[in-house]
Amino acid sequence: MNISGATALVTGANRGIGLHLAAQLVERGAKVYATARRPESIDLDGVEILGLDITDPGGVAAAAQAAGDVDLLVNNAGIGGAALLGDLAGVRATMDVNFWGTLSMVRAFAPVLARNGGGAIVNIASSASWFVFPGSSAYAVSKAAVWSMSSALRQELAGQGTLVTSVHLGAADTDMMKGYDVPKMPPADVARAALDGVEAGAFEVVVDEFTAMVKASLSKDPREFDRQFQQFLNPAKPR
């Protein structure tokens, strides 16, 4: 997909990776709808700002009607999550935003993309699609669902010519990761890799070395990954 001349909508565009996605789309020559639950929190020139809570069906339908020229949907909005055996309301909220909200956006915008030639959908997933970071199991489950959903949607939307790309990354230097003492990459680098992947027609974008290690571990004994994970978090310790 050629981003120059495209019309994109980015969810969660008020900060972090979403903000950089919207900014870089503008730089690459796209028309951009930047959305957030609090539209006044978006501080970015060159975009059309829309208020949008992706868990609100009425709001999602209104966004699809207002942005009827979109041919690139970027599902970035998401929240962190606690442990599955912790607060059940928190688990449900995580799934409501990260899975159901993302699916709601795709269902609303798939006909829009079809009318506009097919276009592309980008789902911001995570390395947590393939492993669980301690204390964030609900988040991992939701992102595993986003990965699987992306694969399913790629098949279901192939007939209308819509590319579906899932983006997987480790820790980025965003508000969501403030409480974690792990190596973090600049969110601008994540946005750049995601958009490069769309232009290359990639099905999956694996942004960083850690995420590549996580994905490669899926065919191996999970105990070996656990050893590698501990080494990654504590590189000074002997093997």
Q: Report phi then psi at 202, rounded to 5.
A: -70, 140
pLDDT digits (tens, 9 = 90+) for 84-134: 999 999 999 999 999 999 999 999 999 999 999 999 999 999 999 999 888
Provide the residue ranges of all domains of the chain, joining segments of one domain with +: 7-208
3-class SS of residue 94: helix
- Quick check: is 33 catalytic? no
Give the strands of the sheet with 7-10, arranged side by side: 48-51, 31-36, 7-10, 72-75, 120-124, 163-168, 204-206
Contact 48, 54 (CB under 8 A): no
pLDDT digits (tens, 9 = 90+) for 32-77: 999 999 999 999 999 999 999 999 999 999 999 999 999 999 999 9
Residues in the chain: 239
Task: Give the whole-angstrom CA distance, residue 239 versus residue 144.
Answer: 29
Give the pLDDT band of residue 190 (cuts 50, 70, 90).
Answer: very high
Catalytic residue among 99, 139, 147, 225: 139
Give the pLDDT band of residue 236 (cuts 50, 70, 90).
Answer: low
Classified by CATH at the fold level, domain 7-208 comes out as Rossmann fold (3.40.50)
Two structure tokens written together for 79:
């929240």
CA-only gyration radius of the chain, Å: 17
pLDDT at 81: 81
pLDDT at 239: 44
pLDDT digits (tens, 9 = 90+) for 126-168: 999 999 888 889 999 999 999 999 999 999 999 999 999 999 9
pLDDT at 171: 76
Residue at 198: amino acid letter:
V
The CA-CA-CA angle for residues 91, 38, 14, to 5°, reads 85
Give the pLDDT band of residue 4 (cuts 50, 70, 90).
Answer: very high
Contact 26, 2 (CB under 8 A): no
pLDDT at 178: 64
- The overall average pLDDT reported for the chain is 93
pLDDT at 183: 67
pLDDT at 180: 62
Instruction: Quote the pTM value.
Output: 0.92
pLDDT at 69: 98
From the DSSP assignment, how many helices (H) and strands (E) are in the chain? 8, 7
Judged by average pLDDT, the poorest of 9-23, 138-152, 168-182, 193-207 is: 168-182
The CA-CA-CA angle for residues 189, 195, 201, to 5°, reads 135
Average pLDDT over residues 223-236: 76
